[in-house]
Structure 1
């Protein structure tokens, strides 16, 4: 039995979009040269690159949901060029430079698509702040500065007064600004890319695949009302890769949550007093991410949950408690906007591994996968999906060699119930340690 995404229709990014075009579902027996499963950043990039390599091939891209309803449309709208979190701690400078090059190649790809197709997604080359609330955050920020110096990347210290003028709050002591990151509306970007696929890529949505079978040199993707038959299958399914029997007991499903406000009125914006269109991530990894969108919404993201049944692990009561935590973080930063309500609270599930290793490569004959983004989905999904297509068609490149050198096998997890107990304990401990930065 395949455990599928369970959409609660709570994602603010998706709900802010205009109605989607009529859906096309998988029906009957469909034969293709390539099948790509998962229409997020990785699957979209893989399908596009396959089409570039083989413009006469039939490529079917299939998803259980509508494009942008899944994790790719649920992040906080950052596309980050720097090695992320634990990857930035890697002792080998060459390893980090490869990651940096791969991420920047992904940003260039996305930028080209946005410009070429006129995708209206608040795409902005405005960089990113990394902020500290108190002494714990400042210690992390000092360490981040040290890592940036070692990496040889530009950064700028932003002291309290200048930072307050940007953020519209004096809650943060200081920050470090890095110029290479982009901001965007993730659901709008994903839908825009899905609506502008090459002519030989056919997107099939709301078409869950229940099982995979190999038969006569083809892979059969069995759905509710039809099946796809193709000799080559590319999986852009992240955590759901394990539902098809691959990377079992190696991927951890974690959901992180965000809430946002309605757009501020002119009077509220004047009271806010800061700038529009910026993003701040916490110096302390377990702290709070903060966004002011280009359309005047304030977004708060924190709270992590282990979700072994994905969306099925979350209920309304849990979401209300998470929203209450977000409300507390919002009021600490913006007490003068206490009357501004949250309109949506949502979670997005992603895959992490205990050794913080991304999987990229061939799983068996005719099956390729990029899985376990460790929380860096937009850039990593884009470049890994593109290079997975290169691997599947046998197209060698320096970038393909780079991604093969910086990826590996996620480590095995302990069995349940020890795994769940351990993950929940680690999340609770991190929240307690980081309580001053929330």
Structure 2
């Protein structure tokens, strides 16, 4: 029997305030009405919506690690309500109205849960800066601005000097500020969402699914037991591709982030008076995503590598950390004495044409994946809508989700490996002045 690859980051999530209590692994044989593989934002949202529709359903969620160490908990902590470009691709901007409706619905859903269940995740509606360092990137920023006007969204165009007063750096040539984005601690959010699932949902940690035998009753094989269920939802994105029936439409990419120690009072004086902020670059492959947090730390997220089997080595993390240090010093030369205390990786699922992989894969097997970044709000609403879709509940946003189209076919390895390597080289060349 060929077993599925097990995702593994050889590093620790820097967002964790403390080591969270772990849930037990699945042991022995278990039966459920629904089996959900993956405790990220999509899987947790799917489980929550299923359970709310029918409290009599027995729902079991398994994760290879835990919600706290999932890729969802490892992202940069932007809950974004507006579409923007990923790399040089402007695929989301082509369907801006649809993405806006979905992303804002995702934020609204999360805000309700966070408020009602008292989840402490440092939720802050701080807005977002979308910036370019290279004056030649003007066309991408202009298309973003044009779409904001078409959507009648509030925004502000900022020049280098104004940005320096907002961000504490002269690195960026121009930027656009939009007020709607939420900044948060993604690990705290994931932990809170997992802890407040309805009573008819059971979550098992450290339970990787090694294989799935599909049939009238699907049998999920884990290291210490089996989970049998007539219906399955795969919330593994592009990880453990061996579990998904049908052709491949998505690939996993690893991204890396580092977080500084909190700035001392003396170091803080080197910045203008400013509030916490978040920044996305016009080229997310070559440029750096940045945050200045409420507790005076600076996050830098930069560097993307293929992770087709979901595994990131310590050597890759070390290389990314060295790149972060060099980029950080370039953006904030006044902080060469500020140390990077945490560095970690996470994975995103990318598709060839920017469309999601969403719906029924075959029979009673469903998925919500292919996020292409910005996964907090996007994957939350994708998971919730998929539950409505699977149970036959009418939701007007389902048509909006379907309007995003279908992801294109991706070739198998080694053609896929070569294609990804070529695409990354292209993006790094196009965005070489952005970091």
TM-score category by the smaller chain? over 0.9
Residues 284-343 of structure 1: CA deviation (Å, up to 9, x unaligned) = 3432111111221111112111122322xx333332222121111111121121011111
Displacement of 1:267 in angstroms is 1.4
CA distance in 2, matches of 1:137, 1:261: 28
Q: Show the counterpart of 1:331.
A: 329
Between the aligned partners of 2:78 and 2:363, the Cα distance in structure 1 is 35
Take 2:64 and 2:314, find their aligned partners in 1: how far apart are those partners? Answer: 23
Indicate the residue corresponding to 1:266 in structure 2: 265
After superposition, the C-alpha distances for 1:170-200 in whole angstroms (9 at most, x for unaligned) are: 2222211111211111111001110111111
C-alpha separation between the residues in 2 aligned to 1:141 and 1:362? Answer: 36
Q: Please state if 1:8 is matched with 2:10.
A: yes
Query: Which residues of structure 2 form unaligned runs of 5+?
Result: none
Distance 1:322 1:22, change over 3 A: closer
Query: 1:117 maps to what in 2?
Result: 117
**Equivalent pair of 1:5/1:70 in contact (CA under 8 Å):** no
User: What is the match of residue 414 of structure 1?
Assistant: 411
What residue in structure 1 maps to residue 67 of structure 2? 67
Of 248-257 and 40-49, the range deviating more from structure 2: 248-257
Taking the TM superposition and a 5 Å limit, the aligned residue runs for 1:205-244 are 205-215=205-215, 217-240=216-239, 242-244=241-243
* 1:400 lines up with 2:401 in the alignment: no
C-alpha distance 187-294 of structure 1, shift in aligned 2 (>3 A) = same
Offset at residue 20 of structure 1 (A): 1.4
The 5 A counterparts of 1:109-188 are 109-188=109-188
2:82 alignment partner, SS class: coil
> How far off its partner does 1:241 sit?
5.6
CA shift in 2, pair 1:87/1:425, >3 Å: closer
Distance (whole Å) between structure 1 residues aligned to residue 209 and residue 273 of structure 2: 47
Return the match for 1:347 from 331, 334, 345.
345
Q: Aligned partners of 1:42, 1:130: CA distance in 2, in Å?
A: 25
Structure 2 residue 357 is matched with structure 1 residue 359 = yes
Shift of 1:265: 1.4
Distance 1:276 1:263 in 2: 14
CA distance in 1, matches of 2:336, 2:269: 14
Q: Can you list the C-alpha shifts for 1:220-265, whole angstroms capped at 9, x where unaligned?
A: 1111111112111111111126221335432122111111111111
Q: Counterpart of 1:21 in 2: which secondary structure?
A: coil
Question: For the residues of structure 1 that align with 2:310 and 2:432, how far apart are their CA atoms?
Answer: 26
SS across alignment from 2:19: coil
SS in 1 for 2:239: helix
Please point out which of 354, 365, 368 is paired with 1:370. Answer: 368
1:297 maps to 2:297: yes
Tell me, in whole angstroms, the C-alpha distance in 2 between the residues paired with 1:120 and 1:254. 29
Give me the whole-angstrom Cα distance separating, in 2, the residues matched to 1:356 and 1:189.
26
- Would the alpha carbon gap of residues 267 and 417 (structure 1) be closer, same or farther in structure 2, given more than 3 Å must change? same
TM-score normalized by the length of structure 2: 0.94
CA distance in 1, matches of 2:179, 2:119: 22
**Contact persistence 2:84–2:144 (CA under 8 A):** no
Quick one: distance in 2 between partners of 1:34 and 1:4?
Answer: 22
CA contact (8 A) 2:211 2:221 kept: yes
Q: What is the aligned-residue RMSD (CA, Å)? A: 1.7
The answer on whether the counterparts of 2:130 and 2:176 sit within 8 Å (CA) in structure 1 is: yes
Q: Cα distance, 1:96 vs. partner?
A: 2.6
In structure 2, what is the Cα distance between the partners aligned to 1:148 and 1:334? 30
Partner of 1:101: 101
Aligned partners of 1:133 and 1:173 also within 8 Å? yes
Residue segments in structure 1 that go unaligned for 5+ positions in a row:
none
- Label 1:317 to 1:34 Cα distance change in 2 as closer, same or farther (>3 A): closer
Distance verdict in 2 for CA 1:274–1:134, change over 3 Å: farther
